[in-house]
Structure 1
Amino acid sequence: MVDVDAGGGDRLALGVLAQYRMATTEQMHRLIAPGVRIERTRRRLAKLRQEGLVDRITLPQAGRTRVWFATAYGVEVVSEWPELREWRPAKLGADRTAARLRVGHALTVTETGLAFVADARRCGDVCRPLDWIPEVYHPLGGGEAVIPDALVYYRQDRRGGEGWSMLRAFVEVDRATMGPERLAAKIRAYERLFTYVPVAVGQPRAVRARQEEDWRRRYPVFPRLLFVLDATGPAGVENRITALTASARLTGPAFRDTVPIYAASLTDLLRNGPSAPVWRPVTAPGQHVNWTHQVGA
């Protein structure tokens, strides 16, 4: 039995790989140990691989970039850790073929999460590596569910010593693998989650009337919704934001006026950082705001 508690760095590295699904060596280094030489991260990953906890594939088309993921054994080891309580075990296991087939999207999601973590470090806010949680399952009943590409927790310290605020966001990373209409339809799925109240068969009507929406069991307020648009030029970004705007305007006012829905290109996000005003409210796409912008502000 491997004792991953022997080094806090080993534990964090394994937890990040299990939670993020996949990451390159460079992404892992920037996430878990940006203040030391990258050779230390390489040695740590090699050690975890020797112990059977992680494995890797190599991308020949990207300068033989190494991409790491947790093995089935690694997933088993971390599955009961309290810091990963919202995480669903990855189904990659030791299947390199499955890893290779989804590597493009997975690495883009990892790079997006890394942008939030690095931005928080730079701004003096708090968004640790494990505060980026891919693929959190939210049931809608009848076997349906909403599964965002990631859920991010972000503590923003208010300037001037005025305390802090805790922000949450569902993040959808679009690599232009689906049409604008299919992407925009995700807004309606989130509206369903916003209104979904689970009903158990046989419950008295009075009990059903007192039940609240299912999301309130997890969140004090419904997370804002962020669309990150990649793999398309400026015209493609505009087409997708237009489709998102049309979809948002079809939602009910309770959802539309309560939940901030923003879109940004991945290029702008990586160049300027998520805290910069690179986000466009899909109900007012002519504006540029910070993603922490408050509704009505």
Structure 2
Amino acid sequence: MSDPTAVRLWVGHTLTVTETALAFLEDAPRHGALCRPLDRLPEVHHPIGSGEAAIPDALLYYRLGPVGDDSGSMLRAFVEVDRATMGPERLAAKLPSYQHFHCYVPTPPGRRPTIQEPALEEWRRHYPLFPRLLFVLDGTGLAGVETRGSSLRATAAQLTTSHFLNDVTVLAASLANLLQHGPSAPMWRPVRDPDLVT
């Protein structure tokens, strides 16, 4: 990148994504969970057809249960960090991309699914369950976080005809709350029901 503004924005965004992952890393031992430094993968590419893709800022792994015990539940989350460098509508437009990924079934050229080999959504090749979708909002103060949350809710309301929001947990929280209280604190708001706090 040769544009200094683009470099500054990219570096700031990368640091905020890292700061978000560190909050999970620091919080895990307090709850007998496991989240290691390499349990965060940046910008994992998930194709959704026509050359498009859902690319979260991070894919985060978090194991519940005692450390060293592999029988605990493995949680996965797509993390989207918003630093108010894009409009609320552009942020909310990420929801339909994840919805598309949730139902996307790739078809090899010249082949159709058969009874022996039924069509399978692309995400099932990588994950046993579709990862949670976490929006971490920063850079706008309380009013800006509310505006961005409202935009996410409005977009979510338009997706009610699909099973996406029934099948996938989609939550939003402010970075300030995440850093102050830790990710396991009751601060996450479901985009479908903002009055509920989990």
TM-score (norm 2): 0.90
Partner AA of 2:140 in structure 1: T
Distance 2:142 2:18 in 1: 23
Task: Identify the match of residue 182 of structure 2 among 256, 263, 273.
Answer: 273
Deviation of 1:224 (Å): 0.7
Deviation of 1:253 (Å): 3.8
In structure 1, the residue matched to 2:50 is 142
Correspondence 1:104 to 2:12: yes
Correspondence 1:211 to 2:119: yes
Evaluate the alpha carbon distance shift between residue 176 and residue 208 of structure 1 in structure 2; reply closer, same or farther with a 3 A threshold: farther
Evaluate the alpha carbon distance shift between residue 181 and residue 208 of structure 1 in structure 2; reply closer, same or farther with a 3 A threshold: farther
Question: RMSD between aligned alpha carbons?
Answer: 2.2
Distance 2:7 2:90 in 1: 25
Q: Which has the bigger relative contact order, CA under 8 A and spacing at least 6?
A: 2
In structure 1, the residue matched to 2:84 is 176
Distance 2:85 2:32 in 1: 35
**1:251-270 mapped onto 2 (5 Å cutoff):** 251=159, 252-270=161-179
In structure 2, the residue matched to 1:188 is 96
In structure 2, the residue matched to 1:3 is none
Deviation digits for residues 39-73 of structure 1 (CA, Å, limit 9, x no counterpart): xxxxxxxxxxxxxxxxxxxxxxxxxxxxxxxxxxx
Contact 1:199–1:208 (Cα < 8 Å) also in 2: no
SS at match of 2:192: coil
Partner AA of 1:142 in structure 2: S
In structure 1, the residue matched to 2:109 is 201
Contact 2:113–2:119 (Cα < 8 Å) also in 1: no
Correspondence 1:285 to 2:194: yes
TM-score (norm 1): 0.61
SS at match of 1:140: strand
Identify the structure with the greater helix proportion. Answer: 1
Contact 1:137–1:147 (Cα < 8 Å) also in 2: yes
Corresponding residue pairs, total = 193
SS at match of 1:129: coil
Partner AA of 1:174 in structure 2: D
In structure 2, runs of 5+ residues without a counterpart are none
Evaluate the alpha carbon distance shift between residue 204 and residue 234 of structure 1 in structure 2; reply closer, same or farther with a 3 A threshold: closer
